């Protein structure tokens, strides 16, 4: 079994959190998760999944912490 890079895995997690309404391919293409259609419930599901899988704490309202693109999420995971 190969290791999936964090960016690809997080894009898949976004898709899972939205029940497939947002595709991983669209997430990987970049842009705002909100503009892609991730709603507040999807974002909360995503945060829960990230915290469980990567053992990080994601604060949606933390000063200076953006959570609106896949690259923002990869940076949070990388900081651990």
Residue 12 has pLDDT above 80, yes or no: yes
* pLDDT given for residue 47 in this prediction: 96
Residue 22 has pLDDT above 70, yes or no: yes
Give the chain's radius of gyration (CA, Å).
12
57 located within any domain = yes
12 located within any domain = yes
Q: What is the pLDDT of residues 46-79, one digit of tens each?
A: 999 999 999 999 988 888 888 999 999 999 999 8
Query: At 20, which CATH number?
Result: 1.10.1200
Q: How many domains does the chain have?
A: 1
16 located within any domain = yes
* pLDDT given for residue 39 in this prediction: 96
1 located within any domain = no
Average model confidence (pLDDT) for the chain?
Answer: 92
Pick from 77, 78, 80, 79: which is nearest to 14 by CA?
Answer: 77
| Confidence class for position 2, pLDDT limits 50, 70, 90 | low
Range of the domain at 50: 6-79
20 located within any domain = yes
């Amino acid at each position: 079994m190969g290791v999936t890079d964090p960016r690809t895995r997080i894009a898949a997690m976004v898709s899972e959190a939205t029940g497939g309404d947002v595709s991983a391919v669209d997430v990987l293409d970049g842009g705002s998760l909100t503009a892609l259609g991730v709603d507040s419930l999807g974002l909360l599901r995503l945060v829960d999944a990230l915290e469980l899988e990567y053992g990080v704490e994601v604060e949606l309202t933390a000063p200076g912490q953006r959570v609106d693109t896949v690259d923002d999420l990869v940076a949070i995971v990388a900081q651990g």
